[in-house]
A and B are shown apart, each in its own frame.
Chain A
Amino acid sequence: MIVDAIKAVECRPLSLLAELTYRCNLQCPYCYNPLDLGSYARELDVETWARVLDEAAAMGIVHVHFSGGEPTLRPRELCALVSHARSKELYTNLITQGTFLTDALLDELLSAGLDHVQISVQAAHAALADYIAGTRVHEKKAEVLRRVASRDVALTLNCVLHRHNIDEVADIIAFAETIGVKRLELANTQFYGWAFKNRFAIVPSRAQVERARTTIDLARERLRGRMEITHVLADYYELFPKPCMNGWARQFLTVAPDGRVFPCPAAAAITSLHFDAVTDASLEWIWSHSEAFNAYRGTSWMPEPCRSCARREVDWGGCRCQAFLLTGDAAVTDPACSLSPRRDAIEALRVEDEHPAVDPRENGFVPRRFQRQPVP
């Protein structure tokens, strides 16, 4: 009886990612945000966001993740929306890089009822972390992390792994232990947005990925019951693709700063689809009836080899955005699958041998920045 007591809920909208803004003072080259950041300058107002939260609660959504960009760049709206979400019994999560989390803002967020904070670091040590972030922030983040860890709110430390920091994953775990976090998310870079643009400069080698896997598995065992470590795998070195978003439009919604609604945070890249906005339709209508949400929902859209595959309701065909970015067609099997006829597209990204031993600073990537808008 108890053995079956804990199971994940499936097949209904559970989670809403609320991207309040794409503005950010960091320039991380692995950011999944779209490249055309400047075209999201007009941001939804707080009244519209409150209506979106009302609609989300009515649909049975449970979690709201406030993210961006950097959501604390809209502190007044953020506090108001956390409070509003809690009044609708929603679970509230703040995903932040932390540099603006003053004690005053924390006080306000906690009295608004914030349940959980996820703070990211770029590496374990300042020199590399600041190089990746494109600005001096690591010491500040470490100080913020220590303050948040002492407060009455759940804290997750997140670090995105890539070629330049994955070899120091043991140091990142040690850093998390020093801070005293209960949850650590070690996420291999997923190649969308800026990360896709920078893919050849930041992709780790297979040997790096395997070494990190061993280190993380051992740490997990050692820290069991004290710290939960989530390891997001590098799908381009796996045999099967990730079940992206647990299937297109099955559990997740993202509302972008301009109000458009996506089944996943990277889907704006699929230029062959039209995505509706909360300013034009209700969240419920978009979830149930919009063309984009129904395009790849379930299994009936699947081509071979997915259609007849025993794993079709395990992998859900992998990731539609990755299929589009790598092949130009969102409706084909994710090339990360070893059965995909287009697996050559992933193999071209892999680094099978060790990277040549050079200073990472010599492998330039393009920092995430707002493009200067051309003067008309």
Chain B
Amino acid sequence: MNSATPALARGCRFRRSANSAGTLLVPEGVVELNSSASAIVELIDGKRTVEEITLELSERTALDLQSMSSDVQTLLQRLAAKCWLVVGDKAALP
């Protein structure tokens, strides 16, 4: 179920801020992301699978895989609910 390849929807752009956080620019809105959310969004490129994003961040942050997986899924679901995410055809969004 983690073979889905999410990408930011048209009109959504990630912009890195001066600090470690970033912003997600969306149609008619600006979403301020904290550093954890920024790290996830930055890896959303339509190529990496959800599993790869989770693994990469888990290794980078030393957060256990299960907690990281839960964070990634929660954020992806929230982005998808706002139509800011499109998911590749390998599988439906987890």
* Interface positions of A (Cβ within 8 A of B): 1-9, 14, 62-63, 65, 89, 91, 93, 115-116, 118, 152-156, 182-183, 224-228
Contacts and interface: CB of A to CB of B under 8 A. Distances in A.
Interface of B: 9-13, 15, 23, 25, 27-34, 36-37, 71, 74-75, 78, 80-83
Given A8-B32, A89-B15, A154-B12, 13 more contacts: A2-B36, A2-B75, A14-B30, A62-B23, A63-B30, A115-B27, A154-B9, A155-B10, A156-B28, A182-B9, A183-B83, A225-B81, A228-B82
Contacts of A62: 15, 23, 25, 30
Given A5-B33, A115-B11, A154 B23 contact: no
A93 to B, nearest CB: 7
A1 B75 CA distance: 11
B34 A91 contact: no
Give the top 7 A-B pairs by smallest Cβ distance, nearest first. A154-B11, A5-B37, A154-B10, A91-B25, A116-B11, A116-B27, A228-B83
Q: Is the interface of B mostly helix, strand, loop or mixed?
A: mixed
26 contacts: A2-B71, A6-B31, A6-B33, A6-B78, A8-B30, A8-B32, A9-B30, A14-B30, A62-B15, A62-B30, A63-B25, A63-B28, A63-B30, A65-B28, A93-B27, A115-B11, A115-B13, A116-B11, A118-B28, A153-B10, A154-B9, A155-B10, A182-B83, A183-B27, A225-B83, A226-B83
Contact of B74 (A2, A89, A118, A227): A2
A365 to B, nearest CB: 28
Contacts, number: 78
Contacts of B82: 228
A1 B33 CA distance: 11
Contacts of A93: 27-28
Nearest to B82: A228
Nearest to A182: B83
